[in-house]
Amino acid sequence: MGDSRETHGLNAFVTGYPVKHSRSPLIHGHWLRTLDLAGSYRAVEVTPDAFPAFIAALKDRSSGYIGGNVTIPHKEIAFKLADRPDELSAELGASNTLWLEDGLLHATNTDGRGFTSNLDERHPGWDQTGQAVILGAGGASRAVIQAVRDRGVNEIHVVNRTIERARELSDRFGVHIHAHPMAALGEVMQGAGLFVNTTSLGMENEVAPTIDFSPLAENAVVTDIVYVPLKTPLLAQAKEQGFAIVDGLGMLLYQAVPGFEKWFGKRPVVDAALRALIIADMDKH
């Protein structure tokens, strides 16, 4: 992608089904405005049946888009339909960011980078631990496992209510990933320096279990990829018990950075103004 992206009228999308809850238009709209770029970024609801045609129109350029984000339930099919998925998406089997380059549809998955950039900003040194505990084994857990592994944390314990799902992930992501049932949580937390919640436990309208974080290393950090509410019950408990915490909003903001840069040619920054904008929007709903 060359200088042409500096010109006016570049259009990007976020597509999902449903898509109206997506905060991506707010994030990218903020960056387009603050960087004074003329492009657009809009939410486009596409049903699963219509998704292949949507991608075909992207590829043949009749849609007018240069790329976009893909969210639930289209991440797996987006990966399959892309011409050039990168290694990160290939291992995950899912892509959330698409862009046209040299006439081909490229795809990556930026969730893991969003996760690590957020921790890098808010708790530098988080990766200087030999051991991490990741609660949950759903779609969101995969990108986190991959990212934590790729940063060199060499023992990762995946704890999940349904042990089979945790085992699938330990098989997929390598020998240093271990699967455990919920009952093993206390035991595998012993000495770990990073605890990540990737489950919906503690989201609004969900009951959160009580967790004793004391087996963690003294300087451990506890983070949640859920960001509604910003301070989830699990984070509140960890803080009360004296641990450092990092909320999940930054992951949402940072995962948007690589896509924006691909489509619009400028690297945007995640700053306090952007965070405040999204928090104000959360307060409205």
Task: Name which position in 21, 61, 80, 161 contacts ligand ATR (CB under 6 A).
Answer: 161
Q: Is there binding between residue 162 and ligand ATR (CB under 6 A)?
A: yes
Q: Using CA atoms, how far apart are residues 224 and 234, in angstroms rounded to an integer?
A: 8
Task: Name which position in 24, 108, 110, 199 contacts ligand ATR (CB under 6 A).
Answer: 199
Task: Name which position in 201, 211, 216, 234 contacts ligand ATR (CB under 6 A).
Answer: 201
Of the candidates 20, 59, 75, 266, the residue annotated as catalytic is 75
Question: What is the closest distance, in whole angstroms, from the C-beta atom of residue 218 to ligand ATR in the complex?
Answer: 27
Q: Is 265 left (phi over 0), alpha (psi -120 to 50) or beta?
A: left
Residue whose Cβ sits closest to ligand ATR? 138
Q: Which two tokens stand for residue 47?
A: 């049903």
- How many Cβ atoms are within 10 Å of 281's Cβ, its own excluded? 12
- How many Cβ atoms are within 10 Å of 207's Cβ, its own excluded? 7
Question: What is the closest distance, in whole angstroms, from the C-beta atom of residue 269 to ligand ATR in the complex?
Answer: 27
Question: What is the closest distance, in whole angstroms, from the C-beta atom of residue 100 to ligand ATR in the complex?
Answer: 27
Stretch in the footprint of ligand ATR (CB under 6 A) among 15-23, 39-47, 154-162, 237-245: 154-162
Binding mask 165-194 for ligand ATR (x = CB under 6 A): x-----------------------------
Q: Using CA atoms, how far apart are residues 187 and 197, in angstroms rounded to an integer?
A: 16
Question: What is the closest distance, in whole angstroms, from the C-beta atom of residue 166 to ligand ATR in the complex?
Answer: 8
- The interface with ligand ATR within residues 110-149 (CB under 6 A) comprises 136-141
231 is catalytic: no
- The interface with ligand ATR within residues 15-74 (CB under 6 A) comprises none
Pick between residue 139 and residue 174 the one whose CB is nearest to ligand ATR.
139
Judge contact between 137 and 171, C-beta under 8 A: no
Q: Is there binding between residue 5 and ligand ATR (CB under 6 A)?
A: no
State which amino acid sits at residue 236. Answer: A
Task: Name which position in 160, 170, 232, 255 contacts ligand ATR (CB under 6 A).
Answer: 160
Q: Using CA atoms, how far apart are residues 81 and 36, in angstroms rounded to an integer?
A: 33
HSE-CB at 11 with a 13 A cutoff on CA atoms is 10
Pick between residue 81 and residue 144 the one whose CB is nearest to ligand ATR.
144
Stretch in the footprint of ligand ATR (CB under 6 A) among 117-125, 196-204, 211-219, 255-263: 196-204
Number of residues forming the site for ligand ATR (CB under 6 A):
14
Q: What are the Cα distances from residue 285, in Å, to 73, 204, 281?
A: 23, 12, 7
Pick between residue 63 and residue 200 the one whose CB is nearest to ligand ATR.
200
Judge contact between 160 and 179, C-beta under 8 A: yes
Residues that bind ligand ATR (CB under 6 A): 136-141, 160-162, 165, 198-201
Q: Which residues are annotated as catalytic?
A: 75
